[in-house]
Structure 1
């Protein structure tokens, strides 16, 4: 049976097999170290019975670096559609091809969602490649919906879909919307 545990620096030397999918973004070691330093409890791995890393998640809690347009923040009174209130963010979530369809992605994202709820976040979001329909369907099954399309987000010019799942703080579901695929923004509009 696989176990979910907090990521360690030693795990960074054993992630290669999980990053073999061409749709998985691979980062330099400094990027992973920054996450482990700033948000260690939001970086987790799934370790198989054989000790191999079967998947991982890098997450963080953040908000836009400038104050909200209205204080206190509330989605219904926010005039800036690009302002990001306090929220959880899935930076990377990947599962090794040999360990897919075992519920690992759901277990990892649920852990980040619980931590976001415990920290009074408004929602959890993530970016997924527009061509990655398999991941989009997985996230939809987990309660995520497309908030907006970020045109040319990735280095190769491909669009990203900004998908969100509201946390319990967002009782009125004001931080999510239907039809987000039709709302297009530029990468510079996204903090």
Structure 2
């Protein structure tokens, strides 16, 4: 059975087989190292019984770089709908084609959600290509919903769905909405 463990620097030499499909975003080594340095508890791999990396997740916990418009932050009094309070973010999640449909993505995502919840985050969010229906269905089964559509988000001009899942701090579900597919924003509105 595959097991989840913290990602190590040497794992970067073994993850290329997980990045083989056209929907997986790949990054340079410096990007992965930055995540391992800043958010090591949110970077995990799933390793098969043979020692091969079958998938990984990179995440972070952050807020918008500018202060909340109203201090302290409260979702009921926040006048800026694009302000991002303290939240977890899934930057990358991928599973090797040979290891798909085994529950790896769900297990990796749950491990990040637990860490974000332990850090008192309001929600976990991620961006997924609007045309990637398979990934959207996976995330919906895990409790995520579309918060907004980010127009021209990707370098090739494709749109992204900003999907969110509220955590225990957001008891009243103030950071999710219905029909988020119909809320269009520009990439500069996201941050």
Question: What is residue 7 of structure 1 aligned with on the other side?
Answer: 7
SS of 2:76 mapped into structure 1: helix
RMSD: 0.5
The number of residue pairs the alignment matches comes to 191
Question: What is residue 77 of structure 1 aligned with on the other side?
Answer: 77
Query: Is 2:101 aligned against 1:107?
Result: no
> Partners in 2 of 1:130 and 1:161 — Cα distance?
6
> Partners in 2 of 1:145 and 1:21 — Cα distance?
24
> Partners in 1 of 2:63 and 2:125 — Cα distance?
12
> Partners in 1 of 2:166 and 2:103 — Cα distance?
21
> Partners in 2 of 1:34 and 1:22 — Cα distance?
24
State the TM-score, normalizing by the size of structure 2: 0.99
Once the two structures are superposed, residues 140-187 of structure 1 have per-residue CA deviations (whole angstroms, 9 ceiling, x without a partner) of: 000000000000000000000000000000011000001000000001
Structure 1: gaps (5+ residues): none
> Partners in 2 of 1:136 and 1:14 — Cα distance?
27
> Partners in 2 of 1:45 and 1:112 — Cα distance?
11
SS of 1:61 mapped into structure 2: strand
> Partners in 1 of 2:52 and 2:156 — Cα distance?
31
> Partners in 1 of 2:81 and 2:148 — Cα distance?
10
Runs of 4+ in 1 over 4 A off after TM superposition: none
Question: What is residue 174 of structure 1 aligned with on the other side?
Answer: 174
Shift of residue 76, structure 1, vs aligned partner: 1.6
SS of 1:77 mapped into structure 2: coil
Structure 2: gaps (5+ residues): none
Query: Is 2:134 aligned against 1:137?
Result: no
State the TM-score, normalizing by the size of structure 1: 0.99
> Partners in 1 of 2:99 and 2:24 — Cα distance?
15
Question: What is residue 65 of structure 1 aligned with on the other side?
Answer: 65
